Structure 1
Amino acid sequence: MEHTFWIAFFWSSIAAAVTSTGIYSIRHFAEWGKKNTTYFICFAVGVLISATFLHIIPKSFSMNIQAPRYLLGGFFGLHIFNRFLTAFVCEKDPEKTGYNLGLITMLGIGLHSFIDGFIYSISFRVGIFTGFLATTGMVLHEFPEGIITYLILIRSGFSERASLSMSFLSAALTTPLGMLFSYPLISRIDDSKLGALLALSGGALIYVGATHLLPKAEEENKKFSIIVLGTGILVAIIIILSKA
């Protein structure tokens, strides 16, 4: 049990480091970051969605007979959560920038990343392989998330130093904090409840990949985005087949 805690903590810390790398990159290599963010998103989406459908969802179904209901709940639960946050942002005039918009957006990203920490705890509690698959796509999508968070804060009128600190706190640090907060609770539950939580996580991962990340990539319409997406899918399939 103890070794799974440290593995989950390690990967959640890696996620925080990758987010921080994204923040650093957009601050010091702005053109490179803007040019390649879409490709990072596409690859992450390919891995995330494929791993969820091919391994995480079937695994949760085998652990809990009610898993399909939890899968649906995870998908729409995160959708409603994001709509709730968006409602506050949409009340602001989109033509104006200001501290309020930046702070609300930062809060939304921080809560989202904190919940990501729960997924690290749940997936690694199920098993090392399940945790690795679930978190690979998540770690990859942290890079563009760091870039996006920093840019939003800059455009909201915050200084570079303030944007750097705030984006680190909201997008990076919250993931390992969420893992540390949730693991003591998750480590005490039985396999059936764990399967339910895994299904919830699967629904959340599908939502993040299909309705949050993929549309952003499609908006950019980069020349090689479909190839990078396909590469992410292929990598997930190879990893899963190697385990079979």
Structure 2
Amino acid sequence: MQNTFWTAFATSLAAALVTSLGIFVIRYFSRWGSRNTTYFMYFAAGVLISSSFLHIVPRALSMNAQAPAWLLAGFFGLHLSNRFLAVFNCDKEPGKKDYVFGLVPMLGIGLHSFIDGFIYSVTFSVSILTGYLASLGMVLHEFPEGMITYLLLLRAGFNERSSAVLAFLAAAATTPLGMLVSYPFISAIAPSSLGVVLALSAGALIYVGATHLLPRAEQEHRKYGLFALGGGVLVAAIIVASKA
């Protein structure tokens, strides 16, 4: 049991490290990243929507018959969070920084990364092999997740340092935190309960991709936007296939 804990914790730290590496790389190439943020928004929307529908939603449904209701709750829960945050920007003047644009995806990605930590606890508790197989697919999405979170915060008006710190806290640090919080209670977490949190996560990610990122990206009218969107769908399909 002790070895299982340290293996799960080390793997969650590795995932956080990969996410941090994505943040570091995109910060180092910040000019290139800023010029191509729209394409990253398309790509992120493709990844988030596709991975939710292809993997997270089916997994949640297999664990809990009430998953559709929790999926809806996750979607509208993040919408209400968006509206709440928008109150602070309701008097936004032309040229004022739109912090909400970066904070809403950060919340959705942070929730998803936190639940990733739960999944590390569950899979390594089943067996070491199961944990490693699940980790293979999960770690694949950590690198672009860090990049995307950082770029969206930067685009929203946060400075480079604040964007990097917030992206690290939301996309990287939440994974080992979720593992540490869930592991002591893992034997008491029923599959149906995990299905609830997975459905909430999927609803939040679908909201971020479909109603937050895609509409904003479409306003830019970039020539190769559909290719970036398709690339995100393809990456999500590869990640799902690697987990199968």
Normalised-by-shorter TM-score class: 0.7 to 0.9
Indicate conservation of the 8 Å contact 2:43/2:228, yes or no: yes
Deviation at 1:198, TM superposition (A): 1.0
Pick one of 179, 188, 197 that aligns with 2:175: 179
Q: Which runs of 5+ in 1 are unaligned?
A: 155-162
Q: Hey, what does 2:93 align to over in structure 1?
A: 94
2:108 and 2:201 in contact (8 A); partners too: no
Which 4+ runs in 1 deviate beyond 6 A?
104-110
Alignment length, in residue pairs?
A: 228
Q: How does 1:62-141 map to 2 (within 5 A)?
A: 62-91=62-91, 93-95=92-94, 97=96, 114-125=110-121, 127=123, 136-137=140-141, 139-141=143-145
Amino acid corresponding to residue 165 of structure 2 in structure 1: L
8 Å contact kept, 1:55–1:130 = no
Q: Distance in 2 between matches of 1:175 and 1:242?
A: 21
Post-superposition Cα deviations, 1:127-149, rounded to whole Å, max 9, x if no partner, equal: 45666656655642432432342
Provide the rounded CA distance (Å) in 1 between the counterparts of 2:216 and 2:21: 23
Instruction: Find the counterpart in structure 2 of residue 227 from structure 1.
Output: 227
Cα RMSD (Å) of the superposition? 3.1
Q: How far apart, in 2, do the equivalents of 1:57 and 1:73 lie? A: 13
Of residues 146, 164, 167, the one that matches 1:168 is 164
The CA deviation at 1:195 is: 1.4
**Structure 2 unmatched runs, 5+:** 124-130
Maintained 8 Å contact 1:49/1:206? yes
- Structure 1 length-normalised TM: 0.76
AA aligned to 1:34 is S
Secondary structure at 1:220 match in 2: coil
* TM-score under structure 2 length normalisation: 0.76
Output one character per residue of 1:136-172: Cα deviation in whole Å (capped at 9) or x when no partner. Answer: 5564243243234235446xxxxxxxx3322222222
